[in-house]
């Protein structure tokens, strides 16, 4: 089973809610099970065996966000977790069939195979908070980025006050035994000159570690690194906002920022992260190129192309709103070809499992930032945001003003 957390693309999370050969639930030694409705208000419904489940984030005319797991066969919600206005950190595991959510005091793990939810006692102290979570693909290991607040810091180095960032720690935890396996500090020599804070995490397919983005809280891309469970750190010298494939083996780089708070650049380069070899590339001074994302098999990369010149302005020309041309790079062959519409590409990639928001007959595909976080998709119109209908193929799942589609498990 594979979780497709696509950068710039699609679709749904299809989670098999049952076990193969009577899978055991995610244990937490010595921890009590959570009730049917937990203390944070998450509503839990026992799933049927082997039903596909769509997982997404939803807003409906309020800033409050809810994480929803929807049984596509029984056509019902089986999990609903309020994340609040800021959106609590969360993570999804494919093989572990689980969703973990930071509650602010601990991390709740909701198993989608019928087992009771569990609570990990990784309690935050008064001077720290979790920033990013990532469950491994088998659900056995949890990676957590923890920030330490100003009150927990020593005096910043001389001359570093304006740029000084809080100390951060990347923890690896054993989920079954609720114990720490390894911690990596941002103050280690390997992170000298690392641009940005410890950011979003993506597990390597073999479970040996994570790919990590540097988060700058701006349109400026940060640094990149692979961090293994044994503490080995490998820095990646990638240009611009790197769109990393699901298996963390390839990256589309060179898509930086031409301004206007919009990811764009004059080149797209496909690089093998294991060898550093360039597999394909295109460069132009008269077009603004923006990444969309990788295909489920990591063979194709979809990107947008818009007219651009140096005299265009953000307020007056709004060049980023122009209808883009779409192109697909084949990372295996280096071939570049026109892609037609985004809807046609998604239907070719995902078939009947493609997810869209229906806005009065217009299908709006979901998307992602290059560092993996989902981008909201909503119907656009005058006045208050109109309600759209979320659908998988022809099946209507939900309605609301804004959705985030998390990924797909096959």
For each successive 10 residues of the chain (410 residues), what is the average pLDDT? 32 33 32 38 53 81 84 83 78 78 80 77 57 88 79 44 65 88 92 87 91 79 90 90 86 82 85 89 90 88 89 76 88 89 82 73 61 59 66 83 69
Task: Supply the pLDDT for residue 228.
Answer: 96
Q: Compute the distance between CA of residue 88 and CA of residue 104 in angstroms, rounded to an integer.
A: 8
pLDDT at site 209: 95
* Residue 181: φ, ψ to 5°: -100, -40
> In this predicted structure, what is the pLDDT of residue 161?
45
User: What pLDDT, on the 0 to 100 scale, is given for residue 139?
Assistant: 87
CA 283 to chain centre: 27
> Is 355:404 a contact under the CB 8 Å cutoff?
no
Please enumerate in sequence order all residues whose Cβ is within 8 A of that of 236, keeping only pairs 6 or more positions apart, or say none.
224, 225, 226, 242, 251, 273
Grouping H, G, I as helix, E, B as strand and the rest as coil, residue 190 is helix
Predicted pLDDT of residue 163? 47
Going along the chain from its start, the domains and CATH numbers come out as 3-409 (2.130.10)
User: CB-based burial of residue 126 (10 Å sphere; 0-12 exposed, 13-18 middle, 19+ buried)?
Assistant: exposed
Structural Rg of the chain based on CA atoms = 21
Residues pairing with 201 in the sheet: 212
pLDDT, residue 314, reads 77
Tell me the percentage of the chain whose pLDDT exceeds 70: 72
Give the per-residue pLDDT at 183: 92
Q: Is the pTM of this model over 0.85?
A: no
Which pairs count as long-range contacts for 390-394, CB under 8 Å and 24+ apart, including other chains? 390/56, 390/355, 390/357, 390/358, 391/355, 391/356, 391/357, 391/358, 392/12, 392/54, 392/72, 392/352, 392/353, 392/354, 392/355, 393/352, 393/353, 393/354
HSE-CB for 328 with a 13 A CA cutoff: 20
Neighbours of 379 (CB within 10 A): 18
- Cα–Cα distance, 124 to 335 (Å, whole number): 49
Instruction: Read off the tokens for 78.
Output: 């089986």
In sequence order, what are the residues at sequence separation of 6 or more whose Cβ sits closer than 8 angstroms to the Cβ of residue 374? 57, 366, 367, 368, 404, 405, 406
CA proximity to 84, closest of 50, 107, 59: 59
Asked if 12 and 56 touch (Cβ cutoff 8 Å), the reply is yes
Any idea which residue has 């990676």 for tokens? 143
Angle (nearest 5°) at CA 55 between 50 and 56? 165
């Amino acid at each position: 089973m594979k979780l497709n957390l696509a950068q710039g693309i699609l679709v749904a999370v299809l989670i098999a809610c049952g076990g193969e050969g009577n899978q055991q639930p995610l244990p937490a030694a010595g921890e009590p099970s959570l009730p049917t409705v937990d203390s944070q208000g998450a509503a839990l419904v026992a799933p049927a065996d082997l039903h596909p489940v769509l997982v997404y984030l939803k807003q409906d005319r309020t800033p409050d966000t809810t994480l929803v797991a929807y049984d596509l066969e029984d056509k019902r919600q089986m999990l609903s977790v309020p994340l609040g206005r800021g959106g609590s950190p969360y993570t999804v595991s494919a093989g572990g069939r689980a969703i973990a959510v930071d509650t602010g005091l601990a991390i709740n793990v909701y198993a989608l195979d019928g087992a009771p939810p569990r609570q990990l006692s990784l309690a935050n102290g008064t001077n720290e908070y979790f920033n990013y979570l990532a469950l491994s693909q088998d659900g056995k290991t949890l990676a957590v980025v923890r920030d330490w607040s100003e009150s927990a810091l020593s005096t910043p180095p001389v001359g570093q006050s304006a740029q000084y960032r809080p100390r951060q720690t990347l923890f690896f935890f054993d989920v079954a035994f609720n114990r720490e396996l390894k911690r990596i500090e941002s103050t280690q020599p390997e992170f000298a000159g690392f641009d940005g804070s410890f950011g979003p995490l993506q597990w390597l397919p073999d479970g040996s570690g994570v790919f990590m983005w540097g988060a700058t809280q701006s349109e400026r891309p940060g640094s990149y690194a692979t961090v293994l469970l044994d503490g080995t750190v490998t820095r990646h010298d990638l240009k611009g906002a790197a769109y990393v494939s699901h298996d963390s083996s390839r990256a589309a780089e060179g898509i930086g920022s031409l301004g206007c708070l919009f990811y764009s650049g004059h080149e797209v380069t496909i690089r093998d992260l294991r060898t550093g070899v360039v597999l394909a590339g295109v460069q132009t001074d008269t077009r603004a190129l923006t990444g969309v994302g990788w295909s489920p098999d990591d063979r194709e990369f979809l990107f947008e192309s818009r007219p651009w010149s140096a005299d265009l302005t953000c307020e007056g020309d709004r060049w980023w709103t122009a209808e883009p041309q779409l192109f697909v790079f084949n990372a295996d062959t280096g071939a570049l070809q026109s892609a037609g519409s985004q809807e046609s590409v998604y239907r070719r990639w995902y078939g009947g499992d493609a997810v869209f928001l229906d806005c009065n007959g217009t299908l709006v595909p979901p998307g992602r930032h290059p560092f993996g976080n989902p981008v909201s998709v909503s119907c656009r119109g005058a006045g208050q945001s109109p309600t759209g209908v979320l659908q998988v193929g022809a099946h209507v799942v939900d309605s609301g003003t804004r959705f985030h589609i998390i990924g797909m498990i096959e």
